[in-house]
Chain A
Amino acid sequence: MEFFFQYLVAGITYGTIYAIVAIGFNIIYNATGIINFAQGEFVMLGGMTAVTLNGFLPLPLAIVLAVVVTTIVGAVIEILFIRWLYKPSVLRMVIITIGVSILIREIALHIWGENVRALPYFTGSSVSSINLGGVYISSQVLWVIGVGALAVAALTAFFNLTMLGRQMRACAANRDAARLCGIDAGNMVTLSFMISAAIGAIGGAVVCPITYVQYDSGTPLAIKGFTVAILGGLGNSTAAVGAGMILGILESFSIWVLPTAYKEAISIAILLGILFVKPSGIFGSAEAARLKEF
């Protein structure tokens, strides 16, 4: 029984990491209807920049600056590669964002080399953990869960309660109509890239004491995050959290009963299964999905 909860904790950790990446996908999808496959690179950039800055700055300041830098990168990417496209097709966007992700990875390799880096644990150390009746939880896991929860709450409030958030959603629903209402659609798209870059960077900084960061560590995270975003129903951040938990816990328990080598196959099997059975995702409505391009 003690191990049951240990596997559960591991699953929640995985799930939260996946959910943070999935939320980044959702934000851009919400504003533009496109999938940004460079999302994993934002996570990597956040972690890498924070580690570098932490070399000469205190940890909180390094993380804040890393988020700022990554946000600027997000804006630059949108302005350079996305903004000038007139009504791009989904396929074209997929190819462009994959190209951008490769570009960022190569630049990161050039700047940082292939070395593995990590931030120190925010509290405690790499060996300390909190013991709850035989179940051990690393304090960093609590940081990840806490920051993840905060990010979801803040985003939900932003998209539902603020004018800017509503304008972004309006652009996603119908860009022409939004434009007629006087919304600057171009700026909204830039803003969505900035927010998702920022979320990715925060996630990258918080998880990197656990997962480490390397120039190419974004891609595997992006695949998992994408799976979770689809699983939850594209565009819905709260659903992404639910879906992240489902995938993370399933993976963790699969290790309990199956050889661990099958773990990676599970997420792909789930993704394929969902796409066949319910393309709108577990929590998405089929009605809404019909309106989406993807």
Chain B
Amino acid sequence: MKGKKGMVALGVLLAVFLSGAFAQAAEPIKIGAILSVTGPASFLGSPEAKTLEILVQDTNAKGGVLGHKVELIIKDSGGNPEKAFSFAKQLIDEEKVFAIIGPSTSGETMKIKGVAEGGKTILLSCAAAEAIVNPVAKWVFKTPQKDSDAVIKIFQQMKKMKISRIGVLSGNTGFGNAGKGQIEKLAPEHGITIAANEVYDAKASDLTAEVTKIKAANVQALINWSIVPAQAIVIKNARQIGLTIPIFQSHGFGNIKYVQAAGAAAEGVLFPAGRLLVADVLPKNNPQKALLVKYANDYQSKYKEEASTFGGHAYDAYTILIKAIENAKSTDKEAVRTAIENLKGFVGTGGIFNFSPTDHNGLNVDAFEMLTVKNGKFAIYK
């Protein structure tokens, strides 16, 4: 008899305890990520996925955001826009995610822009093209700096160096094409004449003839806009044929591995990039310094490889989202979306973000620093 009473009491106690526990553990916030972890754009997607994993662990270890744990669902698109499209539908319709981070490439992002809009789901893209946020779409944001700003940064530098006649080389990829378009569009207003403008195969193994054409055009500087390995080959071939003019590369050059691949030829190359690459040598009063050093160290100690600016784009996407949830004090999608739009002075790896209803990127040309290669390392160009 006594024993039975005890059992009941225990059961009641247990029920009270459990119901209390349930009331406290709020629903997790589901965040979807569509990243090209494998495939040709894996140099973007792989550090992005690794970065998100660190960040989610971090948030959950601190007890989550507004009491909600974060649940991360990573989908590997392999850089394929069709896959990205079906993942986006799946994440929104079936998983009912709160927000999507990614995709890694511009082509994929453009493909799913409409899906995010239709599904009223926040999309924080990690891709570069300006077209993602211009024209502005209500639910779509992006964290990397715009390619147009990279071009403007280069032209500003050229003005300082009194360069007005240039040659342009670009790879025949989406990235190369977009950059070439921006260079052509922005050159006239910066007083730059493009005397030679050539597109080459991104898989080319030697570009001696192409740089010879640049040399023959008698220009003051060369801009090359391509991805690996061509951007390492082009500077090597240029130096070999005795082309001594300044060489500018796109912000895609921001990975120390390409510098190592190019060896001595990389010395003195100029390119605009976010400040992550030079976190160690930034002046102490730089607002980004502490954050950049911490991110770079966390990433390196966990994955035993150097952090790249690309992982930084995912870092910014995630931290902006969490900050917006905190600011909105709510997990209502609409409220959080508005909170992102009103986020000002947010310090990220890519720069200081100032969003507004008309600017869903929040960065301007100051997010870029003009970098160069000195003794095989990245340095701030002075």
Which residues does A use to contact B, with CB under 8 Å? 3, 6-7, 9-11, 13-14, 17, 114-118, 120-121, 125-129, 131, 136, 138, 207, 210-212, 214, 217, 220-221, 251-252, 255-256, 259-261, 263-264
Contacts and interface: CB of A to CB of B under 8 A. Distances in A.
Interface of B: 40, 42-43, 172, 198-201, 203-206, 208-210, 212-213, 215-216, 228-229, 232-233, 236, 239-242, 257-258, 261-265, 267
A277 B183 CA distance: 43
A127 B240 contact: yes
Nearest to B42: A114
With a 10 A CB-CB cut-off, give which of A212, A251, A261 has the most chain B CB atoms.
Answer: A212
With a 10 A CB-CB cut-off, give which of B212, B232, B236, B257 has the most chain A CB atoms.
Answer: B212
Contacts of A118: 232, 261, 263
Contacts of B216: 3
B231 to A, nearest CB: 10
28 contacts: A6-B241, A10-B212, A13-B206, A116-B229, A116-B232, A116-B261, A117-B261, A118-B261, A118-B263, A126-B236, A126-B239, A126-B263, A127-B239, A127-B240, A131-B242, A207-B205, A210-B233, A211-B206, A211-B233, A212-B233, A214-B228, A251-B209, A252-B208, A255-B212, A260-B199, A260-B213, A263-B200, A263-B209
A224 B210 CA distance: 18
A214 B229 contact: yes
Contacts of A251: 209
Contacts of A259: 198-199
Given A14-B206, A261-B172, A136 B242 contact: yes
Contacts of B204: 263
Given A10-B206, A127-B239, A3 B232 contact: no
Contacts of A17: 205-206
A68 to B, nearest CB: 25
A127 B228 contact: no
A116 B201 contact: no
Given A114-B40, A131-B242, A210-B205, 13 more contacts: A7-B212, A14-B206, A114-B42, A126-B236, A126-B262, A127-B240, A127-B267, A210-B236, A214-B228, A221-B205, A251-B209, A263-B200, A264-B201
Nearest to B231: A116
A136 B205 contact: no
B200 A260 contact: yes
Given A114-B43, A214-B229, A255 B213 contact: yes
Contacts of A221: 205
Contacts of B239: 126-127
B264 to A, nearest CB: 5
A210 B237 CA distance: 8
Contacts of B262: 126
B232 A11 contact: no
B209 A252 contact: yes
A252 to B, nearest CB: 4
With a 10 A CB-CB cut-off, give which of B204, B236, B242, B264 has the most chain A CB atoms.
Answer: B236
Contacts of A3: 212, 215-216
A114 B267 CA distance: 24
Nearest to A13: B206
